[in-house]
Structure 1
Amino acid sequence: MTTLPTTWIRRAGAALLACGLAALLSACFITPGKFVSTLDIRKDGHFTYTYKGEIFMLAFAALDEADKDEEFTPSTCYNDDSSEERDCSKQELAQQRKDWDEAATDRAARRKREADEMRAFLGGIDPNDPQAPEKFAEKLRRQTGWNNVVHKGAGLFDVDYSVQGKLTYDFAFPTMEQVTNSNPFLQLASRKDGTVRMDAPAFGGSASDPLRMAALGKGLGDSSSSDDLPNMPKMSGTFTLTTDATILSNNTDDGPQADPAGKKMQWAVGGAETRAAPMALIQLQR
């Protein structure tokens, strides 16, 4: 007689997924939800950037999911000869429960390891603290540009961000104190020849979105699905770049359009049609 531990297989898959996510936390654990974002670059190098909308942080959602489904649930039993489902015997149920209890130490160690990793990624904030998301939001609100940050639950934040500056340096968003994020929403690289390259890696499609691929357990699957992490939002928004400088290159569908601010380029973000991440090369006058 064979007992196939389907529930355990599911949990093991979730544990492997969690480990995969933990490994990704330091690299790409922040992703957009619904948003509107704008960038204005003047030919003298002054710029204004805004982001209003949702930001999803896997560290909080992963912890939320890790605490679920930790109660013992019997696995399905099958007949050896027909592979049909059948009721488990008392002995089989007792063995399942024994194995489950013996694994408790491993489960506790895994949770502690993941919590320690998340604490490091969150700049020392304890992810086991029920107030951790609000503490993190409060920390962000202290930073320049973060006008408002509200935790909506399970890792989903609503933010209002705006900043002004001059492109005598490189710029990236989001930057969070004591947190490493190598999956930026926006990057501005200022070159010595007066050109500025704009890239928006996180606004690309599934091919450039490793967080969603890993979190959803899919290779290059549809990034619009969010069944495995219920609070993971569908990425949906618009990114608009305006400038009075010379546009050397861009990857919009329609190219630069006339605008009171000079020229406008706009990208629709989200959905199956989104593939390449927004890119533009601007020539400043210095």
Structure 2
Amino acid sequence: MTIVTSTRTYATALIAGLSLLLTGCFITPGKFNSELVLTQDNQFTFTYDGEIFFLGLSSLAEMGASSEKFEPDECYDENTFEGRDCTETELAEQREVWELNAPVRAAKAQEQAKQMGAIMGGIDPSDPQASAELVELLSRQRGWERVIDKGNGVFDVRYSASGDLSHDFMFPLVEGFPSTNPFVQIILREGNLVRVNAPGFAAQDGANPIFGMVGGMAGLGGMSSLTSQSPDGEENSNIPVLEGTFTIVTDGQIKANNTDEGSRADASGERLVWEISPRTKTAPTALIDLTS
């Protein structure tokens, strides 16, 4: 008996990742600085300055479309389990199976492209103008003060919002996009309590599914920090690493937080600071009482 194992693990993992991508978990921070100011007069100011990575517009997504190429499986000796060259007959059999499955692959690729366009506000990620369309989409939304396409799905942005704490708040919120992958959430509770969660600022937390998704894909070994590697070990440095600082400044009473060092004195009250990196295991969170 001949033992055959696939050498297309990288492509298989990539396709699996792109399938999960369609659930909406596809926007992540890169290098950034973000600050939230909360005051007892029920006002807030939130800023995010830095990189945002859209996986659907990156070269990883493009590789999914370009993987329509026959690559023979590797053959192994049935006794020693050592790799060997496949025979012509084995190669012919593999190619025949691959060709028979071509209609299934084509239909799946077409369906995924349609689904991706639907969750990206109608933007077709395979269109060369997709990034420009996203820049236009974000720029016309209030709060996006800077949107620059850096290429490969990475955008340099500045976002700022302020106003009354009369309702919950979430960032980012993109018109036509699913809101399943928030960086920061402000949740209002009864009694003038405010819960702040930042699930997007953790690389190893179940609250941020995209990092767990990509980190668990064997063929994309370095992606847990959003730095991918191809099978030959080449690093795709254009994919940003999660790195930054998240700060909360408030004149309210900090009831709970998970910073390493607790609050620090600030001219406006108290300051909480989280240093974010690919090693950050737990999403920043705080509970603040804004009762004056």
TM-score (norm 2): 0.86
Quote the residue 1:39 is aligned against. Answer: 36
Please report how far the alpha carbon of residue 86 of structure 1 lies from its aligned counterpart in structure 2 after TM superposition.
3.0
2:104 alignment partner AA: D
Quote the residue 1:271 is aligned against. Answer: 278
- Is 1:281–2:278 an aligned residue pair? no
- Is 1:30–2:27 an aligned residue pair? yes
1:29 alignment partner AA: F
SS of aligned partner of 1:223? helix
What 5-or-longer segments of structure 1 have no aligned partner?
A: none
Given the alignment, which residue of 150, 155, 164 partners 2:162?
Answer: 164
SS of aligned partner of 2:205? helix
Please report how far the alpha carbon of residue 228 of structure 1 lies from its aligned counterpart in structure 2 after TM superposition.
5.1
Quote the residue 2:62 is aligned against. Answer: 64
Quote the residue 1:254 is aligned against. Answer: 261
Distance 2:291 2:264 in 1: 21
1:45-103, CA deviations, whole angstroms, 9 ceiling, x for partnerless residues? Answer: 12111101111122223532312333222332333333333333322222222222222
Q: Does the Cα contact within 8 Å between 2:215 and 2:223 map onto a contact in 1?
A: no
Matches within 5 A, 1:77-156: 77-156=75-154
Q: Does the Cα contact within 8 Å between 1:242 and 1:262 map onto a contact in 2?
A: yes
TM-score (norm 1): 0.88
Distance 1:113 1:52, change over 3 A: same
SS of aligned partner of 1:50? strand
What 5-or-longer segments of structure 2 have no aligned partner?
A: 231-235
Distance 1:211 1:55 in 2: 13
Distance 2:156 2:64 in 1: 23
SS of aligned partner of 2:20? helix
Quote the residue 2:233 is aligned against. Answer: none
1:256 alignment partner AA: S
Distance 2:61 2:264 in 1: 45
Distance 1:17 1:247, change over 3 A: closer
2:80 alignment partner AA: S
Corresponding pairs, count: 281
Matches within 5 A, 1:169-248: 169-208=167-206, 209-217=208-216, 223-224=224-225, 226-227=227-228, 230=236, 231-248=238-255
SS of aligned partner of 2:216? coil
2:112 alignment partner AA: E
Distance 1:262 1:202, change over 3 A: same
1:75 alignment partner AA: D
Q: Does the Cα contact within 8 Å between 1:17 and 1:217 map onto a contact in 2?
A: no
Distance 1:277 1:198, change over 3 A: same
Distance 1:79 1:222, change over 3 A: closer
Percent identical residues: 42
